[in-house]
Amino acid sequence: MSKSYNRKSRTHASRKAAQEPRVPAWVWLFTGCVLGAFVMFLMRLSELDPVQKVAHKSAEKQAPKAEKQQAKPSEPRFDFYEILKETKISIPDFSELQQEKGKEGEQQSPQEYILQVASFREADDAEQLKVELILLNLQAEVEKARIRNGQTWHRVLVGPFTSRSQLAAARSTLVENRYEALVLKRAPSTTQ
């Protein structure tokens, strides 16, 4: 009769596995954390220059001496007050300022700003854009322009604006509605 030894080998292997002590998971976790912290410490240590290491050690030794020196704060010294006393400033009269302002105003010619939103070959396209801009509460108009080769283009203009704040408000409205505009500066027109 044949005997099976297979059963004994299985029981022997399972007994051997049951007898070996297993390492708990928290031990592996703790070991990994300690190892990672040590590696980080070594990396930080390698970043420091030897000069910094020596300076850091000497700073720790001199810290008690510095605390004693800081106990006696010295008064700050400001030279501004002496310089201010020595400086003389002449203030012009109010009438002189108004005269200078009037002269500058006469020299500068008044300017008006216009935003060119688009330019079309067809008048119908320009009129359609003009209507869209009027619906955005902008003062829009179409202007015909002849270019060098004799073609006629229809410009869609918004404005005129006499101040930069009005120009900025109109330009922000155009940008919010996805229109890009070109800023033009020219002398004010008398036909308004």
Convert the pLDDT of each residue in 46-85 to its tens digit. 777 666 666 666 666 665 655 555 555 666 666 767 777 7
CA–CA gap between residue 134 and residue 127 (Å, rounded): 10
Binning the chain into helix, strand and coil, the percentages to the nearest 5 are 55, 15, 30
Element (H, E) at 145: strand 140-146
Other beta carbons less than 10 A from residue 127's beta carbon:
15
| Cβ pair 115, 184 in contact under 8 A | yes
Residue 192: per-residue pLDDT: 46
CA–CA gap between residue 99 and residue 124 (Å, rounded): 52
Half-sphere exposure (Cβ direction) of 169: Cα atoms closer than 13 Å: 12
For residue 106, pLDDT beyond 70: no
3-state class (DSSP) for residue 113: strand
Write the pLDDT tens digit of every residue in 13-34: 566 656 677 888 999 999 999 9
The answer to pTM > 0.75 is no
Higher-pLDDT residue of 187 and 103 is 187
CA–CA gap between residue 124 and residue 139 (Å, rounded): 18
**Residue written as tokens 């320009």?**
126
For residue 154, pLDDT beyond 60: yes
- Residues forming beta bridges with residue 113, ordered by sequence position: 161, 185
